[in-house]
Amino acid sequence: MKRIMKRKYLFAFAAGILLMGCNRTDKLSDAYGNFEVDDVIVSSEVAGNLLQFDLSEGDQLKVGEQVGLVDTTQLYLKKEQLEAQKASIQSKMATVQTQIAVVKQQRANLEVDKNRVTKMLADSAATQKQMDDITGGIDVFNKQIANIRTQKVSLKKEIDVVDAQVAQIEEQLGKCHITAPISGTVLEKYKEMGELVTPGQSLFKIADLSYLNLRIYVSGAQLAHVKIGQKVTVLIDNTKTTDTKLTGTITWISSEAEFTPKIIQTKEERVKLVYAVKVKVPNDGSLKIGMPGEVRFNQSN
């Protein structure tokens, strides 16, 4: 009986070893790390109350989608004031244009008189003084027109200044509309509707979760075997005994060595100099931020 039990025990043990060998390969991975994401923190560009802020953590947003609005009342009133100021200047501009037309007509009348006096002067029916008076009057009108045109140029510059101020206000009004800078998932929300915000204050964090980056660390000896654009095999835990294999692409390699991050367990490993590497991995929903992962540079193994 003991011999039979012993044989059963040895058979079960061997089967367990064989099963582990089938599910999890004996080859150690080349590098280890954790998944992270390229997130974007959206901040307010203007000061005011949040009149609208319709988003929650986990929401899916499209690039350019509006999710909030900062109070625009003061900016709108300022724009109305500038528009009224511009209308007033334009009214002065029209008056100046009318003045120029009047003076030009007066000058034209003198030009007619000058032609008439020129003919009369040839027949000795007019005096030189009459001609001089008319010529002097025409010169006066020319100076008046030049002076009025100077006023017109000055008013035009005033309109240009007001237009520039209106453009600045419109730009600020545009910044009051809070939109998603990229398509992605809202990771964190820092403000609520009705709160007062100031320029530079963080409103929410968003990231594209269609892919994640596995940040790994390689030694100087391994560095020669990795390059930008290289395809690698990424392993994540499936069960206690099996892994799920994914394909990743190396997108970044640090140009400077650093000490192994403190998340490494042993002090001996933390004092080693390593190079950080990012591996971009498509995410089908199974990858999560902070999840551990492994990399094998030779996919054939």
In 3D space, the residue among 232, 193, 98 whose CA is nearest the CA of residue 152 turns out to be 98
Which segments of the chain have a pLDDT < 70? Answer: 1-27, 260-271, 298-301
pLDDT at 262: 54
Q: What is the pLDDT of residue 224?
A: 85
213 near 34, Cβ under 8 Å? no
Q: Please give the CATH topology (third level) of the domain spanning 40-70+177-207.
A: OB fold (Dihydrolipoamide Acetyltransferase, E2P) (2.40.50)
pTM over 0.75: no
In whole angstroms, give the CA distance from residue 146 to residue 68.
Answer: 53
pLDDT of residue 259: 76
Between CA 271 and CA 159 the distance in angstroms is: 67
CATH topology of domain 31-38+210-297: Elongation Factor Tu (Ef-tu); domain 3 (2.40.30)
Q: Which amino acid is at 280?
A: K
For the purposes of burial, counting CB atoms within 10 Å of the CB of 59, is it exposed (0-12), middle (13-18) or buried (19 or more)? middle
Taking the CA atoms of residue 256, residue 261, residue 266 and residue 268 in that order, the dihedral angle to the nearest 10 degrees is 20
Owner of token pair 């892919």: 211
Q: Which residue has the tokens 């009108």?
A: 141
CA distance 142 to 134: 13
Q: What pLDDT was estimated at residue 2?
A: 37
Q: Could you tell me the residue ranges of all domains in the chain?
A: 31-38+210-297, 40-70+177-207, 73-176
Q: How far apart are CA 253 and CA 218, in angstroms?
A: 10
If DSSP states are collapsed to H, E and C, what string results for the chain?
CHHHHHHHHHHHHHHHHHHHHHHCCCCCCCEEEEEECCEEEEECCCCEEEEEECCCCCCEECCCCEEEEECCHHHHHHHHHHHHHHHHHHHHHHHHHHHHHHHHHHHHHHHHHHHHHHHHHHCCCCCHHHHHHHHHHHHHHHHHHHHHHHHHHHHHHHHHHHHHHHHHHHHHHHHCEEECCCCEEEEEECCCCCCEECCCCEEEEEECCCEEEEEEEECHHHHCCCCCCCEEEEEEECCCCCEEEEEEEEEEECCCCEECCCCCCCHHHHCCEEEEEEEEEECCCCCCCCCEEEEECCCCC
Please give the Cα distance from 225 to 218 (Å, whole number).
Answer: 10
CA distance linking residue 187 with residue 208, whole number of Å: 10
